[in-house]
Amino acid sequence: MTEPLIAIRDLHYTYLPGTPLQAVALRGASMEVYAGEIVGLIGPAGAGKSTLLQHCNGLLRPTEPGHVIVDGQDLADPTVDLRRLRQMVGIVFQHPERQLFETLVGDDIAFGPRQLGMSRAEIRRRVEWAMRVVGLDFDTFVDRPTAALSGGERRKVAIAGVLALRPRVLILDEASAGLDPLTREEWQEQVRRLNADEGMTVIVVSSDMEEIAALAGRVYVMAEGRMVDEGTPAEVFAHTDLLNSLGLGQPVTSWVLGELRRRGYDVDPYAIRLEETVEELCRILRS
């Protein structure tokens, strides 16, 4: 049996324990991510998604019962090499544009590789590569002031900064919010390619169910600090009642087919990709 690359077992976490502001964020969350997977994570605001993910590269350390094991290492161990861990697990947070701090685009993206003491040539190669992946033209943008970028461009720079470290695991926490539709399509294609060609393992958190349906091979549903559902996107998105009770909704494809089924049409509720859905819709039309 292959071991999961990331295994989270019965993890609990409380912010500001023992104070009047104490807030329980995780109540026994478990998740396994295998090398080479794209795993989706969905859940309403406040479900604990970001808290969970911050455990994956040691930004938060287990303080209560539960384990976070990354590449065979239990992160509760105080001797964990955090520098190595953070090179291995890159996180693009919500509002990554707020993480920009250098004056020029190129310097911001090069920050991580510089910290790792890489050669100038290697740094340049990585910056060029990362900018190509996120779709920023090197010559146009490398010397542009970060202050003059649009919201979407700032987001791309922030993502490129994480990619330049070439992490084995890429965690995207609402990273595509605010991208225009075609950029979002291209970005999804790039994530697929990072996964297929570079072997990058990916965890995607998104409130855009279309994006989860398009990217993930497996989906976890989180609510109130623990997992409440897990399966392929087709399985998870067919659980209409659970999704509605959590305020998550469904991708357009699942929603339309579910609605037609409710009206008595015999369509496959597990169809989720656009082509499959088109086929299902054509089947019930008068030809």
Angle between helix 105-115 and helix 151-163 axes, rounded to 10 deg: 20
| Cα–Cα dist 27/114, whole Å | 39
* Cβ burial, residue 212 (10 Å; 0-12/13-18/19+): buried
Contact between 121 and other proteins by CB under 8 A: the answer reads no
Minimum distance from CB of 46 to other proteins (Å)? 7
Q: Evaluate whether 9 touches 50 at the Cβ level (below 8 Å).
A: no
DSSP class of residue 18?
T
Contact set for other proteins, span 255-274 (CB under 8 A): 255-256, 259-260, 263-266, 274
If the CB atoms of residues 87 and 94 are measured against other proteins, the closer one turns out to be 94
Contact between 134 and other proteins by CB under 8 A: the answer reads no
- Span of 75-83, 125-133, 221-229, 276-284 interacting with other proteins by CB under 8 A: 276-284
Contact between 22 and other proteins by CB under 8 A: the answer reads no
| Cα–Cα dist 275/265, whole Å | 18
Q: Mask 135-154, x = binds other proteins (CB under 8 A)?
A: ---------xx-xxxxxxx-
Contact between 224 and other proteins by CB under 8 A: the answer reads no
Residue 135 pairs in a beta bridge with: none
Q: What type of residue is 101?
A: F
* Residue ranges binding other proteins (CB under 8 A): 44-46, 94-95, 144-145, 147-153, 155-156, 174, 177-185, 207, 209-210, 247-249, 251-253, 255-256, 259-260, 263-266, 274-275, 277-278, 281-282, 284-287
